[in-house]
Amino acid sequence: MIQAIVFLPLLAALVAGLGQRFIGTAASKVVTTGALFASCALSWPIFLSFLGGHAQESVTPVLHWVSSGALQFNWELRVDTLTSVMLVVITTVSALVHLYSWGYMEEDPDQPRFFAYLSLFTFAMLMLVTANNLVQMFFGWEGVGLASYLLIGFWYKKPSANAAAIKAFVVNRVGDLGFMLGIFGTFLVFNTVSIPEILAAAPGMAGSTIGFLGHRFDTMTVLCLLLFIGAMGKSAQLGLHTWLPDAMEGPTPVSALIHAATMVTAGVFMVCRLSPMFEAAPVALGVVTFVGAATCLFAATVGTTQWDIKRVIAYSTCSQLGYMFFAAGVGAYGAAMFHLFTHAFFKALLFLGAGSVIHAMHHEQDMRYYGGLRKHIPLTYWAMMAGTLAITGVGIAGVFGFAGFYSKDGILEAAYASGGGGQVAFWVGTFAALLTSFYSWRLVFLTFFGKPRWAASEHIQHAVHGDHHDHPADEHSGDDIHHAHAADAHEGTAGYHPHESPLSMLIPLGVLSVGAVFAGFLFNHQFIYPEEGMAFWKGSIAFDEHLMHAAHEVPTIIKWMPFTAMAIGLVIAWNSYIRNTALPARFVAQFGLLHKFLFNKWYFDELYNVLFVKPAFAIGRFFWKRGDEGTIDRFGPDGVAALVQGGTRLAVRLQSGYVYGYAFVMLLGLVGLASWAMVRFL
């Protein structure tokens, strides 16, 4: 069964990618989508069997892979509780994204290639989560990197898409260098790349030291920090996060697939899979906690200022990943995986819902040119409402809550119960929950409420009139949504009516809405409650039963803090974008520097441009002009060519064609030969 789950997407990718000219677009879509739904149908029984306590860990051999001295490992598919969770997350979201893409990509002439890339991406992610050794995990790790590069740059004729794909590829290479060094170091220390053998031996290495960069350091700290650098790149943590927002250049289904349940969660999965190693490295866990909390806060602040609907959700993803990492940092790996699980449903729902809005608004992504859409696209509106209620954590303890209410609150309670740096992460996470509520409801209010503001959109005007209009409001102009063209909104939009998405796009929204509403309520006991959690995880992660007991016994006021933060964010957003719409502009006018700092993403891109990009280009130009052209070409091919050319010109001048000239040269030769003979022999 596991072989079919993993290899059906690969087979479908090969059929659609290589055979598209023979089978056509429709058949390519059917093959890839059918294969993913088959993998999904096979994954859920595995997950439910672990949920019911009936399944045991299994390892299925595929082939003998490498045998080189001490380095020996096979290609094997490992299935345990952690894998089963990832299987349903990956295959469910991917299958729904495939179906959604039928409607969203309907007008694209290159659909077979798109669906082949989607399936290839899914195969690589499945290889990653079923890996039984670090090399196989790295194979899947690099596979999703390649597929994400292809998907982000799918519209390769757009310079911005190419730039975004290259940026994602390069930034991830930085993280992957750390991951590779971590794998090399792990093999050096444990003399194996087998994950079960490494995890069994990890506690015994606590307190040992290793030589690194000319000094002695704690062995497990060095290894875990190097591995975590890889997780930072793949899961877009602060410092290696800059690729994530730019990845919005890919089609919206790509955003849902990469940012919801698959590639960006690979780092969280890796830390949880190797949790016994991290448990032996308290310093590394402290770094994970700090980086996760900092990322959570950074992304939430930036998300409050963005106008592009997809970028808001992208920064939301970055922030939610921060929650998962600081949960792992305080030792609450079950809570981290639970948030990964619920996040997959509501974040995929929000991305696909945003795609439905963009589809209705003729590819307009700026929320300043939306407004009043709930009457025109009601099904999309209710789906987005379900996703927003889930991500903001709406719920009442002991009664009912949406998905994020259980998973995010579980993380915050565990962080508070862990004490020390975990309590700092709790307060940071609580403030980030307030910001999350604000920017999430801001998105809903700007998009679905108020009067239509479509007149200013060049996309809508082009759709109605066939002409072109520049955007009247610069993207840096602040938070005033009532710009000069709002007064004639009704006149400008009379010829355009937003329309609901086709059924192929609405069905995935409906299914994901169910997950966003009920996933937390149905599964929270198995993931994070002490007794049930121990039985569910069965040793596939380092589940701290005492920490989870303490998390459920934190003071009542602590339990209500996330809900209070959510309510405050909701009230601020309602007051700013429904009741008093002039308030945001006044805030920006008063705190212009702060708004500019946040809008420009804390100037990380500009800083990296100065520190890394410009010096890299300068070094490249130096080697190009001075090294390649000035030295190698000058004295190599160009110099030889010039010498040959000069010799040719001289030879041409000597070849005059006159007999007396040739006779004169022959005479000179005879005189020279005779002179040499006289000197030599007389």
229-277 residue pLDDT tens = 999 999 989 999 888 888 888 888 888 887 666 788 999 999 999 999 9
Average pLDDT in the 283-310 region? 94
Per-residue model confidence (pLDDT) at position 464: 61
Query: pLDDT at residue 492 above 50?
Result: no
Q: What percent of the chain has pLDDT over 70?
A: 93
Per-residue model confidence (pLDDT) at position 483: 41
Measure the CA–CA gap between 409 and 8, rounded to whole angstroms: 37
Per-residue model confidence (pLDDT) at position 19: 86
673 compared with 201, residue with greater pLDDT? 201
Average pLDDT in the 64-73 region? 86
Query: pLDDT at residue 213 above 70?
Result: yes
Burial 144-163 (b: 16+ CB within 10 A, else e): bbebbbbbbbbbeeeeebee
Per-residue model confidence (pLDDT) at position 473: 38
pLDDT, tens digit (0-9, with 9 covering 90-100), for 413-439: 999 999 888 999 999 999 999 999 999
pLDDT, tens digit (0-9, with 9 covering 90-100), for 506-539: 999 999 999 999 999 999 999 999 989 898 999 8
Per-residue model confidence (pLDDT) at position 327: 95
Task: Give the number of other Cβ atoms within 10 Å of residue 62's Cβ.
Answer: 16
Single-letter amino acid, residue 61: P
Nearest 5°: CA angle at 387, between 417 and 251?
115
Per-residue model confidence (pLDDT) at position 301: 95
Name 217's bridge partners.
210
| Residue showing tokens 């930036």 | 302
Q: What is the largest CA-CA distance in the chain?
A: 123
Query: pLDDT at residue 479 above 90?
Result: no
Query: pLDDT at residue 176 above 70?
Result: yes
- 486: pLDDT confidence band, cut at 50, 70 and 90? very low
Query: pLDDT at residue 485 above 50?
Result: no
Pairing state between β 395-396 and 215-218: unpaired
Q: Are 170 and 229 in contact (CB under 8 A)?
A: no
CA distances from 6 to 91, 258, 452, 591 (A): 10, 18, 46, 52
Query: pLDDT at residue 635 above 90?
Result: no
pLDDT, tens digit (0-9, with 9 covering 90-100), for 437-472: 999 999 999 999 988 888 766 766 666 665 444 333
Q: φ and ψ at 55, to 5 degrees?
A: -100, 155
Query: pLDDT at residue 131 above 80?
Result: yes
Best CA proximity match to 315, nearest among 121, 64, 92, 599: 599
